[in-house]
Chains A and B, each alone.
Chain A
Amino acid sequence: QVQLVQSGSELKKPGASVKVSCKASGYSFRTYAMNWVRQAPGQGPEWVGWINTHTENPTNAQAFTGRFVISLDTSVSTSYLQISSLKAEDTAIYYCARESPAGYADFWGQGTLVTVSS
Chain B
Amino acid sequence: QSVLTQAPSASGTPGQRVTISCSGASSNIGSNAVNWYQQLPGTAPKVVIHNNNQRPSGVPDRFSGSKSGTSASLAISGLQSEDETYYYCSAWDNSLHAYVFGPGTKVTVL
Contact = CB atoms under 8 A, between A and B. Distances in A.
Contacts, number: 60
Interface stretch (B11-19, B40-48, B66-74): B40-48
Given A103-B92, A104-B51, A47 B98 contact: yes
A22 B47 CA distance: 19
Interface in A83-118: 95, 97, 100, 102-106, 108-111
B103 A44 contact: yes
B45 A45 contact: yes
A73 interface: no
Contact of A62 (B32, B98, B103): B98
Nearest to B6: A44
A45 B100 CA distance: 9
**Residue among A45, A46, A106 facing the most chain B CB atoms (10 A cut-off):** A45
